[in-house]
Structures are given as structure tokens and as C-alpha cells.
Structure 1
Amino acid sequence: MNKERIRELEKIAAQLRITGLKMVQSAHSGHIGGAFSLSEIMAVLYFEKMNIKPEEPDWEDRDRFVLSKGHATVALYPTLSLRGFFPKERLDTFRKIDGHLSGHAEMQYVPGVDMSTGSLGQGFSAAVGMALAARQAHKDYMVYAVLGDGEIAEGQIWEACMFAAANHIDHLIGIVDSNKVQLDGTVKEILDTGDLKEKFESFGFFVQTINGHNVEEIAEAIDNAKKEKGRPSMILADTIKGKGVSFMEGTCEWHGKTPNDEQFAKAFEELYAKAAELEE
């Protein structure tokens, strides 16, 4: 990946954060912290790696994406809109009673959403099923799933891992958004899940650890995972909760809290400054 393309993806990630914050400001609601930790991952997936057709969201041979941490729609919906699945004006309906952009991922009315999610732990199981279906249908599409590092305390995650490895489901690429903070504390404080690389490897996964805010590392890890045959893949992305806004970074306070006017102004100032820096 050349420097120009790296910069373009970084610009997209910056725009996703700005757009997501505008959605939260309009709705007076939304999960910021765990969405902002995802921005570079979403930019690489949707604008560099996934085989999709926004003009044909139900295309049979498309790659699938499951946001298992389904509350992070402040990252998902801006990505889908910017990629062309629906007009940006629709983002104004986020969490509004007369719209369908609900706080958790919703597939029935939102083009580009492959699975409704929000009950933590369940999305990854759906992704495993989709990947198994690809093999049974003799299709080449990949299934990507983003999990939260708090979410993986759910037992259903590990049942899905056992099944995926036992059935050699290599059409599956999981990505753990390892921002180390969940709703009311750090992951280590609430339920320490230990050495994730060792744990996923023990379940039979091909595992890579990367900087989840480095678009080049994200892209390379996805390429490596696609080459791996005979076993599923898991990418452990080291990220920062609330990335891009100094007073939000690394704290559980901004998991789902709405900023006040002064805080919104400060957050937008920092995000626009970063976007301007990337333009230079």
C-alpha cells in the first residue's frame, strides 16, 4: 500500500469520527467510545478490502460484515453512508422514532447491514454460520466480524470459536477491538480475559496482533488471514477507546455518555484539527 493510499484511508477514518459525533449530537444519544476505536478498522474493511457493491447491497457473492459489538453503530452507519449504501441525509434519523437507524445494528431496513446485533456474544455465532454457509454453497466470499474485548467474556463466543475451528472454517476473519475498556470499567477489572493471543490459538485460530489505528497493519493482517487455509482467523487490534478526542480516550465514562455543548465543541475542534492535518 503506497503512502497516498494510506493517507486516504486515514482521512476516511477521521471523517467517520466527525460524522459519528454529528449523529450523536443530533440524537443526544449514542455510543462514542467504542465506535471511535473502530474507525481505522472500518475504513480499511469497507474502502480497501471488502468485496461489496453498495448499489446492490444484497449481492449474493458479497463479503459479509457482522458488528458483533452491535452498539457501535456510530461507526457502522457513517461507514455505510460514506461508502454509498444510503444517502448521508439519512444519518439525521439516527435513534429517531421516525427512522430505522436504531442504536444497535438493524438489518431489515438499513442497506448494507448483514446481521442485526446488540445482544453481545450472538453476532459472532451468526458470522460463523455465514462462513460455513459460504463453504457449503461453494462461494468464495469472506465473513468479517468485529468483537469487543468486553464482549468476549460471553461464553457463546467461545462455543462459536470451538465450532469454527473444529469445522476448519477459513472464510471467517474475526477482529477484536481491544480498547481495554467497557461500560463501567476496564476489561481487566471487570473480568480479565487473559492472554488473548494464547487463548484464541488454543481454540485453533490463526492469530495476529496489530496496532488497530494503523491502516497499513490492518490491511496486511487481513491479507495474511485471507491466505490462511484450514482454520479461522482472529486479528487482535490494540486500540484506544474514544480515539481522537483527548478527554474521551481510555475512559469508560464515554462508553455511552452524551457530551454537553462545551464538550461537543472541544471534541469537534480536535477532530477537525486532525482532519486538517491529514489534508496537509
Structure 2
Amino acid sequence: MADKREIEPGIEQDFSNQMSYGDYLRLDLLLSAQQPQSDPPQHDELLFIVQHQTSELWLKLMVHELRSARSLLATDDLSPALKRLARVKHIQRVLTDQWSVLATLTPSEYAEIRPFLATSSGFQSAQYREVEFLLGNKDADMVRVFKHDAAVRDELSTLLNEPSLYDEFLAYLSRRGYAVPEDVLTRDVTRQHAASPELVEVFAQVYAAPSEHWGVYETCEELVDVEDNFQQWRFRHLQVVQRTIGHKIGTGGSSGVDFLRRALDLTFFPELFEVRTRIGG
């Protein structure tokens, strides 16, 4: 057995005049973005920074995919929209699994770096708010949190005033002949979607005969998967925070665990869960 793998003759080795892996990915920028603030330096601060920076990268991709899925639904292009949602679900699983790495940070270790976070908090993640707005959890108060950053504030304000992914799905259903209530189609999109009993009836027909409504049925289940994954992410976040700081006030001023727990009551697609009580009943 050979004890060395030779570099093959065709493998590029000279990048003085051509693009390298590091060039393409801008690794000089990416790997210099970890700037611990602790003094004296604390070993575990790099973990905390990398955890949250990688989460922001995955959120960036999720926003990209959700925007695309929304646009595709608006043009009745269902199949590629479903492909986007399938990718979103994989991203969500990665984000949820990442909490297990941060969970290795003990309360004692976190206490050494917490003072250096000052008032920074995950609550202030603009991309997380973009995901929530795209999925339909609209809240104008959240836009004001970013008044210090005009570009971010304007982006969130734009999303606030645009239809959500669910809005576009319901509009798609209407164009396909489903009896989506007019007040749902013309609602104020700057507000969170309110459950509609009439819309539950529409979905009840879909779930009563899946084979006759397969594309719509599949989309409903994809959306349920997305919400289910989102709730798992929220719950895992809550667990990690509780095991790390207990019931302390959060760095950003929230009540911490209690504030995170209340998010578990939020829903993006209420009718898709309500219809389940009707199936087979």
C-alpha cells in the first residue's frame, strides 16, 4: 500500500495568474471576519462567533431560496418553487443541528465571554427577520429595531409591504380556481396572516382527494415541513439558551428563555395545521 498520494500531473498548482479556491470564495475576507472582543482572550469566544456567523451565511441562502420560491409561485411555476422549498428544508436542518455545537459551551465558559457581547443579541439578526417576513410573520415594530441601519431598515420595510410566500401560494390557488376568500386575497400584507375558516374548507377538499390536487397537496405538505423545521429550530434555540444561562435576562434586554418560549406559539400557515383536525373525522 502506498504511503503517499502523489499530485496528479493535471492538477493546477500555479495560481499566480489564475483564480484559486481561496480567491473565488474570498477566504481572505471570510476568515478574517472573526474578531474576538474578550480581554484577556477567552478560548471559547471563537466558537460563539463562528456559530453565529455560519448561521448568518445559511440564513442568507435561505432568504435567497425563499425569495425565489415566492417569485416562482407568482408566475405559476410550481415545480421549481417546490425544489427551492426542498433546499430550504435542508438548510433548516443544518441550522438546527448547529445548536449542538454551541451547546458544548458550559455556563461557566459562556460567563467568561458574555460581558464582551455588550448589548448585541441574536434578536437583532436582520436576516432572521427577513426569513420571518418572507414566511408571513410580519411585525412593523421589528423594522424600527434597525433604524440605525438605513439599508437594512429599507430592505425589511420592503419585505413588510410585499406579499409573503404564503400570500403568493394562496394567490396561485385562486388563479387555479380554488375558492380562496376575497378578503384573504386583498388583506393588508403588512400584518400577520389571520386564520380563515373558509380557507380551511379549501384545504379540506385538497386533503380529501390528494391525487386530484397533487401539486397543491404536495405544496401544502412542503410548507408544513418548513414550519415544523422552523419550530424545531426555535425549540432547540430555547433549550441551548436555558442550559447556558438559565432564566437570566438576554444580552439584548429580552426576558431570555421566556421570550423565546412565546415564539413557539407563533404560526405561519394556520389553516394547514387546522385542516388536520378535519381529516378522517
TM bucket, shorter chain: under 0.3
TM-score by length of 2: 0.26
Structure whose alpha-carbon radius of gyration is higher: 2
- Which structure carries more helix by proportion? 2
TM-score by length of 1: 0.26
- Which structure carries more strand by proportion? 1
